[in-house]
Structure 1
Amino acid sequence: MATSTAPERIVTGRLLLRRFEEADRVEMVRFYGDPEVMAIRKYGARDPVAASLAFDILMEHWRTHGFGLYAMIERESDAFCGECGLRYTDDGAEVEISYGLFEPFRGKGYATEGAAAICDIALDVLKLPVLIAHSRGDNRGSHAVLEKIGMTFAGRRESPGHPHGVVKYMMDGDSGS
């Protein structure tokens, strides 16, 4: 369990990660509904109603836990790139790092840059004892990001709807980032 609250804004070399606001709902409904974005995500593309509900859950997570997902903004252009942050797993047992980008922002190192900053918050500010990540078994790009930020492979499991299963990565709070 987190021992403090995450900052509302994080600035990296090229990114601004900021807590989502109600004004971001339109972008996130577009994000959650984009088949290209969600093709490599564990939940898949959502219709506008389900996407709006997912945004409500994202906002509530911050209010309940003091941390959550951030809007990822490219500082140079002020463009909304996607999301990156922390959330409890669906069963509430662990905290996972999550990130996703619109296609034009992929391949630029933004996922690694954002995820590294989020790891620092998780371990150094929130003092989480363990940070995990889940990724589709065939999402090699995501696996590379997780390895670059210092996470280690912890196993693979079968998952309905994912023919390549889901992989899990971990990082102990003691190992730091």
Structure 2
Amino acid sequence: MTAVVPKRLETGRLLLRRFEEIDRADMVRFYGDPGVMAIRKYGARDPEAASAAFDVLMRHWQMHGFGLYAVIERESGVFCGECGLRYTDDGAEVEISYGLFAPFRGKGYATEAAVAIRDVALDVLKLPVLVARSRGDNLGSHNVLEKLGMVFDGRQDSPGQDYGVVKYVMHSQSGS
């Protein structure tokens, strides 16, 4: 991708900025928080695995020129979570990802951040297709995806999971 993705985005209540090394402790705490990860696809991670996941997040920016942003509440300056774009595990698609610590949920922050990221995906990167995957039982996340204009595209159940993973998709105006 040759487009230049902004390192910082501002919304009415949030600052989204590219992750930096100083954010490692916040993300280790985020990835290890059972309350955060219970509603995400991967589950809580121990500190070593969480730190390794942060390394992957940082490398994604270096390799692709886009990635996840730290979500900061503008008024308080407090780290809320993450939101951004990344290649799916198989590398075939770009997905939008977001997650917030519990005290920041239910305020519209996920939608606010995700709208800014969706606009980067479609207007800056000119992606023809944007996808999202969510736990099948995470109805709050499904609501955010629908507010973005994404549509349900199927469910995949996996052995040992009682919730499955759902996929949402959005085609750009030029790619539909």
TM-score (norm 2): 0.97
160 and 115 in structure 1: CA distance in 2 versus 1, 3 angstrom threshold: farther
Partner of 1:21: 20
Q: Is 1:61 equivalent to 2:60 in the alignment?
A: yes
Identity among equivalent positions (%) equals 77
1:3-56 CA-to-partner distances (Å, cap 9, x unmatched) read 413110000000000000000000000000000000001000000000000000
CA contact (8 A) 1:41 1:136 kept: yes
1:38 is aligned with what amino acid? M
1:160 shift after superposition: 3.8
In the alignment, the residues of structure 2 paired with residue 23 and residue 17 of structure 1 have an alpha-carbon distance, to the nearest angstrom, of 15
**2:128·2:174 contact (CA, 8 Å) conserved in 1?**
no
Q: Which residue of 1 aligns with 2:32?
A: 33
- Counterpart Cα distance in 1 of 2:174 and 2:15: 26
Q: Which residue of 1 aligns with 2:132?
A: 133
Q: Secondary structure at the match of 1:159?
A: coil
Q: Distance in 1 between matches of 2:168 and 2:5?
A: 22
The Cα of 1:164 is off from its aligned counterpart by 1.9
Q: What is residue 123 of structure 1 aligned with on the other side? A: 122
Give the 5 Å matches for 1:70-89.
70-89=69-88
Query: AA paired with 1:110?
Result: Y
Please give the TM-score of this superposition, normalised by the length of structure 1.
0.96
SS of equivalent to 1:132: strand
Which ranges of 4 or more aligned residues in structure 1 deviate by more than 2 Å?
Answer: 159-162
Aligned to 1:111: 110
SS in 2 for 1:162: coil
The Cα offsets for residues 39-94 of structure 1, whole Å up to 9 and x where unpaired, read as 00100000000000000000000000000000000001000000000000000000
